[in-house]
Amino acid sequence: MRRVVDSWGEMDPFTPQLLEQVLAGATPEGREGERLAALVRELRADLLEEPPADLAMRHVAAMVAAASEAGPDRSRRPTMRTLTPRRAAVLALAAAMTLTGGLAWAGALPPAAQDAVAGVASHLGLDLPSSDDRPEAADHGREVSEVAHDPNLEGCEKGQAVAAVASEPSQAHRQDPSDRRDPCAAQDERGPVGLGQDAGTGAPAQDPGPPEGVPAQPPALGGATHAPGGPRAADGEA
Amino acid sequence: MIGDGFDAILAAAQRGDPNALEAIYRELAPGVLGYLRGQRAADPEDLAGEVFVAVVERIGGFRGDERAFRSWVFTIAHHRLADARRRAARRREATVDPRELAPLGPVGDVSEEAMAALGTRWALTALDRLTPDQRDVVLLRILGGLSVEETARVLRKRRGAVKTLQRRALAALARSIEREAVSG
């Protein structure tokens, strides 16, 4: 049996500093350092052994077999063919975006649909507006629609109310309308106002422009403008 | 330590290159086997084989330098050892008719048999006087070559806890050596 020769006398505890020195390969001076170095040396001699050749061969063969089972590119994750929750969310969002034509991005879907699409998108880390933070344009259209369907309004007054609500977002861009005459009163005096004419003056109606938050249609490349659903304006002007 | 060539060997091993896998085994097998033997694993050789197969199965996702890799391998070894001990505990709990065991021959205490097989290695005897946690720290530091921080990560303990375990383990080892010297 190997023995530590008791030539050191009374033993003091080994300190962490001594251990760090011994593990770094140094043999610290002093009795404690020598004893600790001897202990580490003995532990390594007893336990750190090269595996026998047959055992090493068996282990390496098992490792190679495991590597070949997993495929040649071990850094690549296996293809996910199962329907994982994330994959299902991606498919659902793709379907929703296809069906709604991007309205979800603008937050212009009906509240329930907008919330559903925004919920799916949030699982994927995408930030789509919910029905609570839809842009004003979407709410504006609903308000105009409500006024247009109001059964308490009729005739010129209904038209004026719809026009007022519809043009509300652009009021800030208009000239002071306070000097305009009451078109319904004028109608009473002169009969119906022609379509496309400013009530009272008979001049062409001023384009209220797009509602606030909805950009005007941008010019097409090359300066040509495209009329929706019609021929190019530039085609006729060229 | 493999040193400068580690990155290339790791990349090759991640592609399944047999030579790279063998190089990794040669570098780490003595430490892993020593750790498992020092922990008195029932079958350290088989368990070491399981550890290295698990390393290969997960090596594709590993990112880091050689020290991190070493720490990662010992983490796997530590977990495999814990799994093996749980399995052994479940087997011991299972009720077995002693008559079924008779044909297998006499059965003794596993740790006594292990001690007998290891002979009179005084350092191992000293290790056996440590608590399991203290032994973990000593083996990972001395055989695994891990730092206090790396040991803490492997054992999922705080750095301060590992330093405390280490200090107590060193004191216990010092006392053990003293006893050996006196009795010798």
Write down which residue in B65, B95, B125 finishes a domain.
Answer: B95
The candidate with the shortest Cα–Cα distance to A159, out of A194, A109, A204, A207, is A194
**Contact yes or no for B15 and A60 at CB 8 A:** no
A78 alpha carbon, distance to own chain's centre: 26
**Residue A131 DSSP SS3:** helix
Mean pLDDT value of segment B80-104: 72
Instruction: Tell me whether residues B56 and A2 touch, CB distance under 8 A.
Output: no
Percent helix, percent strand, percent coil in chain B, to nearest 5: 80, 0, 20
Same domain, B10 and B71: yes
Give me the residue from A3, A35, A76 closest to B184, CB to CB. Answer: A3
Buried b / exposed e across B100-134, counting CB within 10 Å, b at 16+?
eeeeeeeeeeeeeebbeeeeebbbbbbbeebeebb
B119 domain-assigned: yes
- CATH number of the CATH domain containing B164: 1.10.10.10
Cross-chain residue pair B33–A51, CB shorter than 8 Å:
yes
pLDDT of residue B97: 55
User: Which amino acid is located at A168 in the chain?
Assistant: E
Amino acid (1-letter code) at residue A137: A
Q: How far apart are CA A202 and CA A237, in angstroms?
A: 28
Same domain assignment for residues B74 and B50: yes
How high does pLDDT run on average in chain B? 85
Q: What is the pLDDT of residue A149?
A: 78
The Cα A76–Cα B29 span in angstroms is: 26
Which of A11, A34, A59 should be substituted to probe chain B, the one whose Cβ sees the most B Cβ atoms within 10 Å? A59
Alpha helix segments (H runs only) across B62-131: 66-93, 98-101, 110-118, 122-128
CB contact under 8 A, B59 and A74: yes
Are residues B12 and B70 located together in one domain of the fold? yes
CA distance B38 to chain A (A): 7
Give the lowest-confidence range in A84-98, B32-46, B163-177: A84-98
Q: Please name the residue that has the structure tokens 């054992």.
A: B155
List phi, psi (to 5°) of A102: 85, 0
What size, in residues, is chain B?
A: 184
Q: Which residues of B touch A34 (CB under 8 A)?
A: none
B41: Cα within 13 Å, side-chain hemisphere: 27
Are B41 and B86 contained in the same domain?
yes
Assigned domain for B118 exists: yes
A134 in Cβ contact with A108 (< 8 Å)? yes
**Residue of B52, B121, B170 lying closest to A46 (CB–CB):** B121
**Contacts of residue A75 in chain B, CB cutoff 8 Å?**
14-15, 60-61
Ordered by start, the domain boundaries in chain A are 1-70, 85-130, 135-172
Residue B172 CB: number of other CB atoms within 10 A?
20
Least confident of A64-78, B37-51, B72-86: A64-78
Judged against a pLDDT cut of 70, whether residue A70 lies above it is answered with: yes
- CA distances B104 to B60, B107, B110, Å, are 43, 8, 15
Most A-contacting residue of B21, B74, B128 (CB-CB within 10 A), to test interface = B21
Q: What is the pLDDT of residue A220?
A: 39
Q: Looking at residues A121-127, what average pLDDT do you find?
A: 57
Query: Are residues B137 and B95 in contact, defined by beta-carbon separation less than 8 angstroms?
Result: no
A43 touches chain B (CB under 8 A): yes
Q: How far is it between the farthest Cα atoms of chain B? A: 59
Q: What is the mean pLDDT of residues A167-176?
A: 58
Q: Is residue A174 over pLDDT 80?
A: no
What would the mean pLDDT of A211-223 be, rounded to a whole number?
39
Q: B113 and B89 in one domain?
A: no
Q: Which of B66, B81, B76, B53 is nearest to B27 (CA)?
A: B66
A134-147: pLDDT as tens digits: 555 556 666 777 77
Give CA B121 to chain center in angstroms.
18
CA atoms within 13 A on the CB side of B100: 3
Structure-model confidence comparison of residues A106 and A222, the more confident one: A106
| Chain A residue with Cα closest to B46 | A59
Residue B79 belongs to domain with CATH number: 1.10.1740.10
Q: Check CB contact under 8 Å for B142 and A40.
A: yes
Q: In angstroms, rounded to a whole number, what is the distance separating the alpha carbons of residues A20 and A37?
A: 11
Number of domains comprising chain B: 2
Tell which wins on pLDDT, A21 or A70: A21
> Does A59 contact B at CB distance below 8 Å?
yes
Q: State yes or no: pLDDT of A129 exceeds 70.
A: no
* Residue range(s) defining the domain that contains residue B28: 1-95
Cα B174 off chain centre by: 22
> Are the beta carbons of B16 and A74 separated by less than 8 Å?
yes
> Average of pLDDT values for B85-89?
88
Which 3 state secondary structure label does DSSP give A204?
A: strand
Question: A76 in the Ramachandran plot: left (φ > 0), alpha (ψ -120 to 50) or beta?
Answer: beta
Q: Is A21 helix (H, G, I), strand (E, B) or coil?
A: helix
Domain boundary among the residues B95, B120, B141 is at: B95
A21 has a chain B CB within 8 A of its CB:
no
With a pLDDT cut of 90, the percent of chain A lying above it is: 8
Domain annotation covers residue B103: no
B172: left (phi over 0), alpha (psi -120 to 50) or beta: alpha
Highest mean pLDDT among A212-221, A227-236, B93-102: B93-102
Closest CA to B51 of B70, B26, B27, B79: B79
Give the pLDDT confidence score for residue B52 in this predicted structure.
Answer: 98
**Alpha-carbon torsion (A172, A175, A180, A184), positive or negative:** negative
Instruction: Find the mean pLDDT for residues B90-97.
Output: 65
Q: Once rounded to an integer, what is the mean pLDDT over residues B80-106?
A: 70
Give the end of a domain, one of B62, B95, B128: B95
Q: Give a yes or no: residue B39 inside a domain.
A: yes
- The pair of structure tokens assigned to A54 is 């047959």
Q: What is the mean pLDDT of residues A56-76?
A: 82
A57 and B CB contact within 8 Å = no
Higher pLDDT, A94 or B3: B3
In a domain? residue B5: yes
pLDDT averaged over chain A? 61
Q: Are residues B67 and B129 in the same domain?
A: no
Higher pLDDT, A212 or A146: A146
Both structure tokens of B172: 């216990």
Of B29, B127, B143, the CB nearest to A51: B29
Q: Residues B83, B27: one domain?
A: yes
Model confidence at B47: pLDDT above 50: yes
Phi, psi of A204, deg, nearest 5: -55, 140
Tell me, yes or no, whether B142 lies in a domain: yes
Examine residue B100 and state whether it is found in any structural domain, yes or no. no
Residue B104 in domain: no
